[in-house]
Amino acid sequence: MNRKIIPAALAVIAAAALIFCVRAVVTKGRQTINTAEISENPQTDDTSVVTVTDVSQSLTEESSLTESATDSAVPVTMPGPASVTVSTRLDTTSSLPSTSKAPASPVTSTTAAKPSSTAAPKTTSTTAASTKATSDYPYAYAGFNPRPADLNVADWRLILVNRDYILPDGYEPPELVHSVKGDSDSKLLDSRVAPYYNEMYLAAQKDGIDLYTVSGCRSYARQKTNFENKISTYRSNGMSKVEATQKAATIILPPGTSEHNLGFAMDIGSLEQSFENSKAFEWLSKHAADYGFILRYPKNKQDITKIIYEPWHWRYVGVEHAKAIKAAGVCLEEYLGKA
Ligand code: ZN
């Protein structure tokens, strides 16, 4: 009897031990995965888009952006392989005052193509699944839920910010410099853009035109003040909070979504639509593209830009893009395939 029972008992014990070991390994594996997901993406249950191994790569990409910004004389395009997939963590290290809780820790996944100096910019494709709208944006009550702007586009000159794409909370340009001081005041611009603006300004001056500089780079806080002042004005005229906010946003973009926050735009002349009748506007219409600037909010594109006609707002995109945009008669959203 014992000869049969003992081997049988041993077999049972061995089987139990084996099952225990297998379960332990499986459980540990699950715990490891869960820990990685939680630490990478604490704000969302949507863990499917996170790739932990991409973090070091995204840091490299961001470092490149900062380094290239220190070269103030010659704008450079982002270095990189022909086609690279990066997962970018837009951390918020802000020194600017801000009440926005917009993208607390968004993770975007971007496929960027190799920079090209001539081709039309099919540079980015951002998947909807990986770019969550920021539902806690302070102006969400009026229908504004911008997604994080993609700062890692292959060509930095084509960074798109508008009411649908917001800069990281507390964004500040890598380096700000004053534009040239001519007959009018100088204003701050991104250091990669300022040399081109200065060149344009001086060329206009040679032609007897003063490109009177009204507004360059604005901080998030300043943009917020301007935007909320506009809302207050409309509210005092009897509009509801939602109506007033929506109306204000056609004239002043909500904080974080303005090209003035990016440091790529200059308001020139006067903030009146009658500026289009000025010699300065005529000069800009003729020559601005030669220096890389576009009329960003054209009269016939308001349904796309969602911004009133602004003859004073000129945005830098680089000479070849500016010329292509002008020749095609499109706005930046159309040019980027984001209309
Ligand atoms: Zn402007």
Distances, alpha carbon 288 to alpha carbons 42, 181, 200, 282, 326, in Å: 45, 18, 7, 10, 10
Residue in the block written with tokens 């060329």: 203
DSSP string, 167-210: PPTT---S-EEEPP-SSS---EEETTTHHHHHHHHHHHHHTT--
Instruction: Please choose, from the candidates 215, 197, 189, the residue with its C-alpha nearest in 3D space to the C-alpha of residue 271.
Output: 215
Is 310 one of the catalytic residues? Answer: yes
User: Who contacts 77 (Cβ-Cβ below 8 Å, separation ≥6)?
Assistant: 115, 117, 154, 155, 156
Task: Say which of 40, 61, 172, 310 is annotated catalytic.
Answer: 310
Instruction: State yes or no: pLDDT of 118 exceeds 60.
Output: no
pLDDT top residue among 59 and 143: 143
* Structure confidence at residue 261 (pLDDT): 96
Q: What is the mean pLDDT of residues 10-31?
A: 46
Q: Which tens digit of pLDDT belongs to each residue from 247-260?
A: 999 999 999 999 99
Cα gap 337→314, rounded to integer Å = 20
* CB of 189 closer than 8 Å to CB of 217: yes
Q: What is the mean pLDDT of residues 113-142?
A: 53
Instruction: State yes or no: pLDDT of 112 exceeds 50.
Output: no
* Structure confidence at residue 284 (pLDDT): 98
Q: Which tens digit of pLDDT belongs to each residue from 265-276?
A: 999 999 999 999
Using a CB cutoff of 5 Å, list residues around ligand 1, an ion: 267, 313
Centroid of ligand 1 to alpha carbon of 82 (angstroms): 34
Residue in the block written with tokens 């540990």: 28
Q: Which tens digit of pLDDT belongs to each residue from 190-209?
A: 999 999 999 999 999 999 99
**Pairing verdict, β 107-113 and 124-126:** antiparallel
Q: Which tens digit of pLDDT belongs to each residue from 170-193?
A: 899 999 999 998 777 889 999 999
* Structure confidence at residue 47 (pLDDT): 27
Centroid of ligand 1 to alpha carbon of 252 (angstroms): 8
SS3 state at 294? strand
Centroid of ligand 1 to alpha carbon of 215 (angstroms): 7
Centroid of ligand 1 to alpha carbon of 216 (angstroms): 8
Centroid of ligand 1 to alpha carbon of 65 (angstroms): 24
Instruction: Please choose, from the candidates 205, 197, 186, the residue with its C-alpha nearest in 3D space to the C-alpha of residue 288.
Output: 197
Centroid of ligand 1 to alpha carbon of 283 (angstroms): 18
Number of other CB atoms surrounding residue 317 within 10 Å:
25
Instruction: Please choose, from the candidates 259, 283, 290, 286, the residue with its C-alpha nearest in 3D space to the C-alpha of residue 269.
Output: 283
Cα gap 241→264, rounded to integer Å = 30
SS3 state at 332? helix
Q: Which of 77-81, 188-192, 263-267, 290-294 has the lowest mean pLDDT?
A: 77-81
Q: What is the mean pLDDT of residues 116-127?
A: 41
* Structure confidence at residue 183 (pLDDT): 73
Instruction: State yes or no: pLDDT of 20 exceeds 70.
Output: no
**What's the DSSP call for residue 148?**
E
pTM of the predicted structure, to 2 decimals: 0.62
* Structure confidence at residue 135 (pLDDT): 61
Q: What is the mean pLDDT of residues 27-33?
A: 39
Indicate the average pLDDT of the chain: 72
Q: What is the mean pLDDT of residues 293-314?
A: 97
Considering only CA atoms, give the Rg of the chain. 26
